[in-house]
Amino acid sequence: MIVSAFLERNPELGSKEQCRDFYWAKLQKSPNKYSDVTMPGRGAMALVRGMVAEAQGRPVRWQNVHAHLFRDGVCMEIHLSKVLYEPDDERLFEAVLRTVRFADIP
């Protein structure tokens, strides 16, 4: 599994759902086409879940989860991905998602 994250200040956005929708619109321009897309909410997160079945003509079963959070004008995205995804791999995604949050720094 690959995990990446970024934070971006965007005063035009005001919620985790707006962050999700903003970045999902950009992601749809990617050459990798998502199928089986769902956009569930999960507590403080707005998710985009989707599968890329093939890339460059090869089967990859590339599962992607984009978790979006929002606080004080800042969007956070955590991107989880795994090629050759099997249903048992879902426990890996869940283990990471359970730990995602904005933390207060004293």
- Mean pLDDT estimate for the chain: 94
- Tell me: pLDDT of 105 over 80: no
Return the pLDDT at 27.
93
Contact 39, 19 (CB under 8 A): no
- Report the percentage of the chain scoring pLDDT > 90: 84
The pLDDT score that the predictor gives to residue 52 is 95
What residues contact 27, with CB distance under 8 A and at least 6 apart? 34, 48, 66
Residues facing residue 4 across a β-bridge:
79
Structure tokens at 55: 């890339």
User: What is the value of pTM for the model shown?
Assistant: 0.92
| Whether pLDDT at 101 is above 90 | no
CATH numbers and ranges of domains, the chain: 2-97 (3.40.1000.10)
| pLDDT tens track for 17-71 | 999 999 999 999 988 899 999 999 999 999 999 999 998 889 999 999 999 999 9
* DSSP 8-state assignment for residue 64: E
